[in-house]
Copies of this chain bind each other. A is one copy, B any other.
């Protein structure tokens, strides 16, 4: 399945969120990741995020698609850093 994952995390935890998501998905922009993932791996990813998140402050939103069906993705403004490790 194809997913788009958006998180909103307290600044203190943003890098941890990023690091975990990067293991399973492709970084698109800021707090947005996307990619093909199995249901099983998605559960593991969510478990890992839940371990570090503060449910009173952070949130995760996941859109699930049977296949990669979007026909366009448009970005306006700052692009993601060309070398994403800068972020880490």
Contact = CB atoms under 8 A, between A and B. Distances in A.
Interface string A47-74: 0011001011111111111100111111
A75 B50 CA distance: 12
**Complex copy number for this chain:** 2
Given A6-B29, A30-B8, A77 B60 contact: yes
Contacts of A32: 6, 61
Nearest to A70: B63
B56 A76 contact: no
Given A30-B8, A30-B59, A65 B74 contact: no
Interface of A: 4, 6, 8, 28-32, 46, 49-50, 53, 55-66, 69-79
